[in-house]
Every structure is written in structure tokens, then in C-alpha cells.
Structure 1
Amino acid sequence: MIDKPMSGIRSAWVEIDHQQLLTNFELINQDSPAHLKKLCVVKDQAYGHGGVVIAKAARDAGYDYLAVETIDEAIELRDAQIELPILIFGEVSDAEFAACLAYRITCCVNDIDKARRFNALCLAQGINHTVHIEIDSGMSRWGVRWSDAIPVIEYIARECDGLVLEGMMSHFAMSDEADKTYANLQHSRFVEVIEALEQTDITIPLIHMSNTGGLLDLPHAHFNMIRSGILHLGVYPSLVCKRIEGLKPIMSVKAQIPALRQLQVGDCVGYGMHFTASTPMQIAILPIGYGDGYPRVRNEGYVLIHGQQCPVVGGNAMDAMMVDVSHLDNVSIGDEVVLMGGQGDEWIDPRDLVKWKKTVCYEILTGWRARLPRRYV
């Protein structure tokens, strides 16, 4: 009988530096005022890093809250015995709200009609359930418009005995760029709602607006809870926002060379024949492609082998890509390749892939597909 191999043995993988993750949390804690509560965003598998792993590290680092985007993400955390409060961003349906009750998951309630229905579900089960309300201060996405917010807040607080209005939030459209004009406008709109509430007897314990950009650059918008999205992952939301000394990316993408090819003059490489050898050369074939999340480039970008840059040649495929290793000595099958991360004195930052894919860091991080095993070191 042949033993079945364990999963996760593929020769291309995502590697997560767990020790650097803990260091990043510690650095953020040291940089943040001690009185602030902290929420860790772990939606979309913590931006591709592993939702349960990052959530447990945040819990151990003293974070007070977690946030996700879908009910399934929240249930996965509960099934992993994570007991921190969990907030679902956005809007939830009636069926999702029923699951929130079952799994003790907080959600946003942003209009009177939904508040009425959700309150009825709570009363029917004899449950008092915590909710937040989101104020649309200028994103034109989720939430109630700032100018219309007070009646909704008053209805939830005064008429909904089954709902406990624990938090009020908003979200910046552009908090991480040098020009803070619009961010400050959003902040002033949010403050309008807070000041109007102060004229009532309604108290909302948690007030939060700052995402990672606001956490770094807008201390006047911290209120009493801040939200960390990609910062603890060691990635900054822009090139111009504040830096925290010692913070480093925790994700690398690596592979091993499974094949080498000798090219003669005139040999073509890859689909579409976007590269033709003008001299004899050696290329390495890598077992990873755009089906795994690497940008679909043509003769652009590079990887690291033996601590040196090796340019991509031709157009990469769904499952393979080719790189020039002619300048390397003693390159061999099985050698480690770094597609994102560091090797020797060289480093490929997520922002390098941003340039090649012409996108943003968030898409690069979340774009590494699940078929790439995650290894935590």
C-alpha cells in the first residue's frame, strides 16, 4: 500500500513570516495611544495571509475587535474558537442576520426598515444583539448619509429593544495621500453627527473612522477605536503616508525550479511568441503563473534566484513562467526562486508587482490564489 502524500507539498507556495507579524503588531501597539481600542480587519483571508492565523495573532496582541466582509468569514473564525467580537462590514440580509444571532456576530444596521425587521427577529428569540451603524460621510457606498443619520440612530436607540447600538463608524475614501482635503471634509461630516448626538441622551460606546491611512496620518480622526487593515501585514497603503520603523512585509511568494532550457538563436518563448532569443541563453521554467495570481506580464518584471534579478521572458501562462538565468553560475533544478519578498540583498516589494500589473497593493496581496499552499514560518 502506498502512503498518500500530505497536502501543501507543491513546489510553489506563499510563505508567511509569523514572527515578523508579531513584531508588526507590537510596533503598531507602541505607536498607538494606549487608550485606543484596536480592530483588526481579517476579511478575504486577511488579504490572502490566512484569516484564522492573523485573527489569533491579533487576539494575542491585545486587539479588541475583528472585522470581516462576509458571514462565512465570520463563521470560520467562530469555528476556530476565536471569541473576540466580530463586525461584518457592509450590509447583511435577513438570512445573514439570523446567522449573526446564532454566532454572536455584530453587523451594521443603516436604515429604519432593516432595523425594524432585525429587531423583530431579536425579540422573537429573546436576544439583545449588538449592532453598529455606518455613516456615509462621502464614499457613497455603505451606510446612511451623514445628513440623514440622526433619525435612524434615534429609531434604533429608542424603538428597538432587541438591538444594542454599540458602535458608529465611517470610512475614508482617501486618507493615505498627501492631500487631506477630502479626508478632512469627511471627518467634519462625521463630527457633525457626533455633535448632534451630544444634544440627545444617546450614548454610543465605540466610535471609529480611521482605516490604516487614518491610523497613520489622521490622529484627530482616531476617536476611540482604530482599524488596522494591511498595516500589521507590513504593507503601507501609499508611498506618502507615515512610516513605522521596523515594520516589514510578512508575505513572500516562492517556488523551486523544476526545469531548465537551453535556447538557440531564433528560439521563441511562450504564448504569442513575445520573446525571441537573439543569442544562446538559458532559461528557467517556473511552476507558477497568472492562475496563481502572478501578474500576466510579457517581458516585464523579474524574480530572484541566487540573490540576483532574473528577468521574465515571453508571456507568462496560467501555470508557468520563464525567466532568464544565463547570467547565473551553477543554477540547478530545485533552486529556490523568490517572486515576492527578499533573497540575499535584493527585495521584490508588493509595489513592484503593482507596477507590473498596474493595480494596487490590495489586489496583489489578495490575488494569490488558494491553490498556492500557505506556509507559516
Structure 2
Amino acid sequence: MVEAITRPTEMTISLAAVKNNIEVVKATSGADKVFLAVKSNGYGHGLHTMAEAAVAGGVYGLAVAIIDEALALRHQRLTVPILILGISPAEYAELMAVQHIMATVVSIDWLKTAEQHLSGEQRLPVTLGLDTGMGRIGFRERSEVAEAIAFVQAHADKFEYVGLCTHFAESDSSDTRYFEKQLKRWHALTDGLPKPEYYHVANSGAALYHPNEVPHEVIRVGTVIYGIEPSRGELADGHDLMPVLSLRSQMNFVKKLPAGEGISYSHIYTTSEDEWIGTVPIGYGDGWLRSLTGFNVIVDGQYVPIVGQIAMDQLMIRLPHEYPLGTTVTFIGVDGDLENTVEDVAQYAKLAPWEITTGFHERIHRILVD
């Protein structure tokens, strides 16, 4: 990984916003313990930056997709509980046990294989994942869940039964029929079985919109802590959430071009009169998508459009007049009375907000502020 600290393009992560959003979701859901998903490089906000902010902001634990992300957090000297949400190769069971990393288990065969790799010096904490309708991974039969619990308890010298979980496919919609179907399946699969320390069922949508319908003492959330309203305005306006991410750069070249000059590859934009054009060192190689050509960034408290095709490392903007080199360009964030949000970018690109942020590449310099 190369992090570009010598150019003026940078992402700032607001600790104050993270703290606010954690407080909002705790107050709304009634949760005592919050696990924040920091997978995929902290939803593009930076794995280490977001983990540091989240722990400082009061989360109980962190959730990741793969072992490598969990190990990176342990190397960061973070001691909070870490849960791996995906399937981990069973041969790494001992490594996870030694590092006190919780594994999500979705088959009895996995447990049997992992048992052979565990020395017993440290017990492996396991969460059993249930497929109630996501159709991805997890136990689907109550008998299988009961068998897995029995196996873990019978091998208590090597395993620790700590959690049961599922994932809702539609918890952030006004149409609650599928959510209710999944919730019914959850109860059918788990009611009456030995209860672990963690029932982590609620994702961001369930935590905000269904806190009284699901177990909510422990929640496992993502988008809401990043300041993104999960329903995208359908169920709430998100006014109490604060945006966590800002993305800014500076102009490093400014020129005046006459009418008839093409800008960037393929000349999809041609100047119609004398125009001031600024160059900014950010491009699709940083995750600022080519489809964002035409999007209005903010310069000096006013909107200015991106013109021409966005290149890998640079893009151009049309200015109302000449600006000095080093003038700030706000892609996401506030400048004067104007603001660009992640949702604004997502709507322009016709993508979900989390698709935008997870696309931001690691070479963007990230800074924790506040």
C-alpha cells in the first residue's frame, strides 16, 4: 500500500461525528454493546482510522470480513472483541484462538475440522451464524444449530460458545413483510436453545427501525455510525446523524483556455468561450469514479462542475475566474453555506452511499480530526 502524503488530496474522519452517531444508535436502539463493522477498509474510511475513532467513541467491539483484517486490528494493539463475519478457513482456528478473535461458524463440518487444529491452550470463541433469509451463509435447520451448540459445549476445552447471529436482508424498508418473515424464522431456529453471551441480530436498519422487535442488547451496525441513514430517507431523514467523512484537495494548476479547446480524454467537453480551468490531483485511481464527470464540487463557497473525462490521477474543473494555486476543492464536506454529502455523490453516480465510500482507495491520505 502506498499512501499519498505528499499531495494535497486528503480524507478527514471526524471523531466527534463518530461519537455522536454511536450515541444516537445506542439511544435509539437501547443497545448496551455496539459492534461496528469496519470491514473493507472501514467502509473506505480507513481500517485503522475508523477503528481508532470507534474505540475512542465507545463501541464495545469491531466486526470484520476476514482474518487478515482482524489481525491488522490486533497489530494496531486494539484489545476490544473482534468478530469475523465471513467464513474463515478452519486451519486458522488456532491463530484466531490465540489472538482472541471470534469466528462465525456456519456448519458442523467446520467445527469438526477446526477442533483438530486447536491445541486447547486458548479456546476459540465462536458465533453460530443462521441463514433466516439472506441466502448467503448460515445454518438453516434448528437440528443443525442444536447439534453445533452441543458439539461446542462437548469440546469446551477448545471452543467457547459466545454468540448467535443472523443478518436481515430488508430491515430498512417501509415494506416489513420480509423482515417479519426472517424474524419468525429466527425465533423458530433459536427459541429454547442454550443462550450465549451475544445475540447480535440487529444491523443498522433493525437497530434504528425495529429495536423493540429484535434482541438489541448487542447490535452489529455499519452505515449508521458512518453517518449514512440506512433507508436513504424512506423511513427517517437522518437529521441527528453527523457525516463522518470529508474529502478535499487543492488546485495544482490553473489556466485560461480559449473557446474550442478539448478537455481530457476523448474531448467529451470542449470550451464554448474563454474559460478558466483548474486541475486537481485526484482521479478514478483514488476511487473518484469516471461517472462523476459533471458533478459539482465546491470552490470558495460556490459550486463548480467537473469537466472532461476524469483521469486516473487528475481531473479538471471549470472555474468562474482565476484562482491561486493551492485553493481548496471540496468533493465531500462543507464549504461556506454549501455541502456535498456522500448521499449526493451516490445519487449522482446512481449507486448506494456505501458503494461510493468502499471504493475510495488506500492511497488517499486519511486523517482523524476532532
Same fold (TM over 0.5): yes
For residues 265 and 59 of structure 1, do their structure 2 counterparts lie closer, same or farther at Cα, with a shift above 3 Å needed? closer
Q: Is the 8 A contact 1:304 1:339 kept in 2?
A: yes
> Following superposition of structure 1 onto structure 2, how do residues 43-62 of structure 1 map, counting pairs within 5 Å?
43-62=39-58
TM-score by length of 1: 0.90
Q: Does the 8 Å CA contact 2:292/2:349 hold for their aligned counterparts?
A: no
Partner SS, residue 226 of structure 1 = strand
Q: Which residue of 2 aligns with 1:270?
A: 264
- Does residue 286 of structure 2 align to residue 289 of structure 1? no
Q: Kindly state the Cα deviation for residue 259 of structure 1 after the two structures are TM-superposed.
A: 0.8
Secondary structure at the aligned position of 1:108 is classed as: strand
| Residue 7 of structure 2 is aligned to residue 10 of structure 1 | yes
Asked if the contact 2:226–2:243 (Cα under 8 Å) also holds between the matched residues in 1, the reply is yes
Task: State the secondary structure of the residue aligned to 2:87.
Answer: coil
Structure 1 unaligned residues grouped into runs of 5+: 1-5
Q: Secondary structure at the match of 1:231?
A: helix
Asked whether the equivalents of residues 39 and 65 of structure 1 are also in contact (C-alpha less than 8 Å), the reply is: yes
Maintained 8 Å contact 1:112/1:155: no
Which residue type is aligned with residue 21 of structure 1? Answer: V
Aligned counterpart, 2:185: 189
Q: Which runs of 5+ in 2 are unaligned?
A: none
Deviates more, 1:359-368 or 1:143-152: 143-152
Aligned to 1:21: 18
Return the alpha-carbon distance in structure 2 between the equivalents of residues 300 and 17 of structure 1.
Answer: 28
User: What CA distance in whole angstroms lies between the structure 2 residues aligned with 1:137 and 1:243?
Assistant: 29
Q: CA deviation at 1:185?
A: 0.9
> What SS does the corresponding residue of 1:340 show, helix, strand or coil?
strand
The partner residue of 1:127 within 122, 128, 139 is: 122
Query: Greater RCO between the two (CA within 8 Å, min separation 6)?
Result: 2
* 1:1-377 equivalences in 2 (<5 Å): 8-33=5-30, 36-122=32-118, 124-147=119-142, 149-161=144-156, 162-197=158-193, 202-219=194-211, 220-239=213-232, 240-243=234-237, 245-297=239-291, 299-325=293-319, 327-328=320-321, 331-377=323-369
- Between 155-164 and 264-273, the greater mean CA deviation after superposition: 155-164
Which residue identity lines up with residue 12 of structure 1 in the other structure? T
CA contact (8 A) 1:216 1:242 kept: no
Distance 1:129 1:140, change over 3 A: same
Q: Distance in 2 between matches of 1:127 and 1:21?
A: 33
Q: Per-residue CA shift, 1:216-237, capped at 9, x if unaligned? A: 1111123431112121221122
Q: Structure 1's 154 and 368: CA in aligned 2 closer, same or farther, altered over 3 A?
A: closer
SS of residue paired to 1:137: coil
How far residue 298 of structure 1 moved from its aligned partner, in angstroms, is 6.6
% identity of equivalent residues: 29
Q: 2: CA distance between counterparts of 1:56 and 1:193?
A: 36
| Distance of 2:5 and 2:208 partners within structure 1 | 36
> How many equivalent pairs are there?
364
